[in-house]
Amino acid sequence: MPKKRPPRTEGERARHSTLARSSTDRAEGMGREPSTVVTYGSYLALEDLLTLQRPRSKPEHPDELLFIVVHQSSELWFKVLLRDLDTLATAFQKRDGGLALWQVQRINGMMRIVSAQLSSLALLPPQHFAQFRAHLGSSSGSQSVQFRAIEAASGLREKWFVDMLREQGRIPDAIQRWIDRPTLQDLFLDYLRMENVSLEQLYLGPGPSLSFFIADELLEYEMEFGQWRFKHAQLVERMLGPDTGGTGGSPGATMLHRTTSIRFFPKLAEVRAKFFKR
């Protein structure tokens, strides 16, 4: 017969009670109910997430899943980019150069990820895409509210851009809130004024300053964005051909190629030219 455990002493009961409270406090500190067991699947809501890829082709075309996942994952990255662009704008307003530099560097890293995953669409043969393209209906990447919000957040304010948005109906709040705010370039120039530094002074002195590196990363962001646009245009042209219209009635690759020359920080580029003019 196994021996019965002797009753806990008063000290053991106190220690057990303390450990139980500590476990509960840790659970509450992590923002969850103490009795809830959080697993990898439940934390990421995988049961819901993995049901959101819904090919429309019947029978299901094996390549439609790839097409959906690339675009859905892009939208998830867009969500993070918008949050970080918001943080970047706030950092400029609060005169926090260190946070601004770290934030734009992270934004650039995410832009490289978004651009890299787009390359996987090159693995979708045009004859395969043609077999399920009709199931996309009137949908088009140009309808992405988050992408348009990123463009607006980055500084796109031209009349053609606003007119294009209005053609699709009322401008969504997620885009309008950025149109109503200063551009990133204006926020950075305001930050420089608070630092009593001119654009020309960024390139003068014994060595690069914090503001110089921020300016350099902003131009890097503009370049990463341009490279994403160019890759997108090339992929569409590669898949559809140069004269085929896009889904949703868009002009296709023709329009995409025109957007590759858009600049978000023209003044940051123009000041560099002054050092080469005689």
Give 112-154 pLDDT, tens digit per residue.
999 999 989 989 999 999 899 999 988 888 889 999 999 999 9
CB 121 within 8 A of CB 239: yes
Query: How many CA atoms lie less than 13 Å away from 136 in the CB half-sphere?
Result: 19
What is the phi/psi pair of residue 44, to 5°? -90, 0
d(CA 12, CA 15): 5
- Taking only the tens place, the pLDDT of each residue in 191-226 is 999 999 999 898 887 778 999 999 999 999 999 999
Give the type of residue at 258.
R
pLDDT computed for residue 140 by the predictor? 82
What is the dihedral angle through the alpha carbons of 214, 93, 155, 121, rounded to the nearest 10 degrees?
60
Which tokens is 35 given?
A: 């009795």
**Model pTM score:** 0.81
d(CA 161, CA 203): 33
Sign of CA dihedral 214, 215, 216, 220: positive
d(CA 211, CA 91): 13
pLDDT computed for residue 238 by the predictor? 81
Mark the ranges of the chain whose per-residue pLDDT is less than 50.
18, 20, 23
d(CA 71, CA 215): 31
